[in-house]
Amino acid sequence: MIGLAADRYRTSAETYETLLPLSSPPYRELFEVRVKIGELLAFQKKYDDALQMYQSAGDIVSSAAATQNVIDWQLRLSSALETTGDALRISTETLPLSGGDFMAFYKRALAVLDGASSNVSDAPTLQSRRDQLLAKLKPN
């Protein structure tokens, strides 16, 4: 069932990618599909693939930022990264990741928030989220 959902999301992503050259590209839709694929990959414990998919969603945010307000996208992406990092952190499995471990997800989530905060002058929500991630990045 999850595999079928992932296949459908991938097909949707491919369709949206063909529309990127248009004057009004479907950035939001492609971003959402890529985040959902990342979440499905994380659910399947394919954490390295999930991290790569989240990175590709971040690439869409970067492309869209020139013409659209993407703060809510950045918050969504950061949250997905943090949630995946949390799942990996509590997992008892030892998984080989080229990106490291759960800390790679937290660091990427923090980088996304840092990008968002550079676009917003007053962002208490962003600061609160940053503080939570920084606490998770501190060694115990």
The predicted model scores a pTM of: 0.84
Query: What is the arithmetic mean of pLDDT over 62-90?
Result: 90
For the chain, what percent of residues have pLDDT higher than 90?
41
Residue 56 has pLDDT above 70, yes or no: yes
Report the number of secondary-structure helices (H) and strands (E) in the chain.
Answer: 6, 0
pLDDT tens across 123-133, in order? Answer: 677 888 889 99
Q: pLDDT tens digit string along 40-50? A: 999 888 888 99
Q: What is the pLDDT of residues 89-116, one digit of tens each?
A: 877 555 555 445 888 999 999 999 888 7
Domains of the chain: 2-137 (1.25.40)
Q: Which residues contact 70 (CB under 8 A, 6 or more apart)?
A: 61, 64, 116, 119
pLDDT score of 98? 45
